[in-house]
């Protein structure tokens, strides 16, 4: 499992989750293509984060990008910057400037091997004897 994390990115978590949902569970190469052509503010830092996680995999274990998929994408709320907007009659309203924490985890693709030799051959269904009524 290879991770990358981005903290306090200046976009609301709700908007960040829209992009995260696009790439969740996909292969890394496919997710990179999706993020390159997504017209959202979050797509560029998410692409950088994905490339960083892929580079971590290559540097740590020498795993190629084609052998990886996105196992987990999380967008959580970060710090909230509170600002004040003056309003009528001397009052004020608060404006919340929200931030997000992005986290991506990659895993290796496990190829299923068909072992026909190891399968136990069972006998064909034999007719069951019916119980005799008394």
**Superfamily the domain 2-85+93-108 falls into:** Ribosomal protein L22/L17 (3.90.470.10)
pLDDT tens digits, one per residue of 29-73: 999 999 999 999 999 999 999 999 999 999 999 999 999 999 999
Whether the predicted model's global pTM rises above the 0.85 cut: no
Q: Is pLDDT above 80 for 13?
A: yes
DSSP string, 8-21: EESS-HHHHHHHHH
Q: How many Cα atoms are found within 13 Å in the side-chain-facing hemisphere of 91?
A: 5
Q: Which token pair is 46?
A: 């998410």
Taking a C-beta distance cutoff of 8 angstroms, is the pair 29, 51 a contact? no
**Structure confidence at residue 121 as a pLDDT band (50, 70, 90):** low
What whole-number percentage of the chain has pLDDT above 90?
81
Structure confidence at residue 112 (pLDDT)? 78
pLDDT tens digits, one per residue of 103-115: 999 999 988 776 6
Q: b or e along 104-116 (b: 16 or more beta carbons within 10 Å of the residue's beta carbon)? A: bebeeeeeeeeee
Region 88-95: mean pLDDT is: 97
């Amino acid at each position: 499992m290879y991770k990358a994390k981005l903290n306090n990115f200046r976009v609301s978590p709700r908007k960040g989750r829209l992009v995260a949902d696009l790439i969740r569970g996909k292969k890394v190469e496919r997710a990179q293509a999706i993020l390159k052509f997504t017209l959202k503010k979050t797509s560029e830092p998410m692409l950088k984060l994905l490339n960083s996680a892929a580079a971590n995999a290559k540097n740590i274990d020498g795993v190629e990008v084609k052998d990886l998929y996105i196992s987990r994408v999380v967008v959580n709320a970060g710090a909230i910057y509170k600002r004040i907007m003056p309003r009528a009659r001397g009052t004020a309203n608060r404006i919340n400037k929200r931030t997000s924490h992005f986290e991506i985890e990659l895993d290796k693709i496990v190829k299923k091997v068909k072992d026909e030799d190891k399968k136990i051959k069972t006998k064909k269904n034999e007719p069951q004897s019916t119980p005799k009524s008394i």
